[in-house]
Structure 1
Amino acid sequence: MDTQELTLELLSIEDAEQLLAFEKHNKEWFDQFIPPREADFYCIEGVTEHIQEFLLDYKCRQLLPLLIKNREQQIMGRINFTSIDSKKGTAHVGYRVGKAFTSKGVAKRALALAKARLKDQGIKRLFAYAEKSNVASQRVLTSNGFSHIRVVKDFAELHGNSISCIEFSCNLKEQ
């Protein structure tokens, strides 16, 4: 399985079955780091509805939902750009990589590819948040030119506990 070669593809309805399998397979892994999805997500109807909502937001130019795939077209992860503001030229980025693909540079390379794509679309500044103890995610961001802005206390709740995150920013005009 070649993780060196990866592509970013717009999420589509045709990906529903593979995405469901990916999300189910990695559920325990993802739930350690981000608030869990609702139970009704984990069926073909739930994933299809999720994709349809994301594609509607994409058509409204508020979201860019991408799948990270390898040469065999296997989903390795996801990278989404949310809160897209075309007038200000800003967006927020979030990503998740399946457990089998961690520590292989997948998130780092996918973010680099996605940054070039967003810059071509007129985005000038990206924002991201990484949980304070998630050093791997922080490394992905800093290796892609993101700078630490501030700590946001009580950013989210995970398993009944409040978590703080580091806010990062990247000026695409300078890269």
Structure 2
Amino acid sequence: MLSKTELTEVRLELLCSDDTEQLLEFELENKAWFDTFIPPREQIFYSRQGVLEHIQQFLLDYKCNQLLPLLIKNESRAIIGRLNFTNVDLNKGTAHVGYRIGHQYTSRGVAKLALKKAIAELSKKGIKRLFAYVEVSNIASQKVLFFNGFKKVRIIEEFAQLHGEEIDCIEFTCLINKRQR
């Protein structure tokens, strides 16, 4: 097993169809881990065709400037996480961020570094404000957001369902050009 030392570098790459096999492997390897924190994907997703269709849909949304789907890779170019900016509105300069990190790469600074790098790139594209929603007990994700200049806005009760239970989430926001280092 890998040690939990912090990574000093991560790579962000736009999702592409060449990633189909590796992404399927990553999602299958981490399915149980992800399912404990976020609503599970449909079973049809967990096939080569399902992942390819997922990628194609995400790339269509990317071409329409509605989504920025990124893969987080290590120095060996292996997928270690995902970082998606959804609800992109270039007119308002806003987007929502979500991420998932493979289980063996948690507590190593991956999300923190990836989000920092992505925010720098988004500011060049005119995005001025980001939003994120985190389940109230997910302290690790809250730390990632705080590190990257996000502030708590409010608690939204019954924001989503997870395993048949309503969950409360914290809404966060970040003004990109006013982030503190």
Query: What TM-score do the two structures reach when normalised by structure 2?
Result: 0.95
Alpha carbons 1:3, 1:101 under 8 Å: kept:
no
Cα distance in 2 between the residues matched to 1:142 and 1:166: 12
Cα distance in 2 between the residues matched to 1:42 and 1:21: 9
Query: Which residue does 2:141 correspond to in 1?
Result: 137
Query: Which residue does 1:23 correspond to in 2?
Result: 27
Following superposition, the deviation at residue 95 of structure 1 comes to 0.2
Query: Which residue does 2:168 correspond to in 1?
Result: 164
Alpha carbons 1:90, 1:123 under 8 Å: kept:
yes
Matching of residues 142-161 of structure 1 within 5 Å: 142-161=146-165
Is 2:71 the partner of 1:67?
yes
Cα distance in 1 between the residues matched to 2:133 and 2:123: 20
Give 1:128's match in structure 2, choosing from 129, 132, 146.
132
Cα distance in 2 between the residues matched to 1:25 and 1:152: 31
Query: Which residue does 2:84 correspond to in 1?
Result: 80
- Unaligned residue ranges in structure 2 (runs of 5+): none
Aligned-partner residue type, residue 12 of structure 2: L
Deviations 1:42-95 (A, max 9, x none): 000000000000000000000000000011000010000000001100000000
SS at match of 1:87: coil
Following superposition, the deviation at residue 121 of structure 1 comes to 0.4
Following superposition, the deviation at residue 4 of structure 1 comes to 2.6
Cα distance in 2 between the residues matched to 1:54 and 1:4: 28
Deviations 1:9-34 (A, max 9, x none): 00000000000000000000000000
- Unaligned residue ranges in structure 1 (runs of 5+): none
Following superposition, the deviation at residue 3 of structure 1 comes to 3.6
The sequence identity of aligned pairs, in percent, is 61
SS at match of 1:119: helix
User: RMSD of aligned C-alpha atoms?
Assistant: 1.0
Query: What TM-score do the two structures reach when normalised by structure 1?
Result: 0.98
Deviations 1:81-131 (A, max 9, x none): 000001100000000000000000000000000000110100000000110
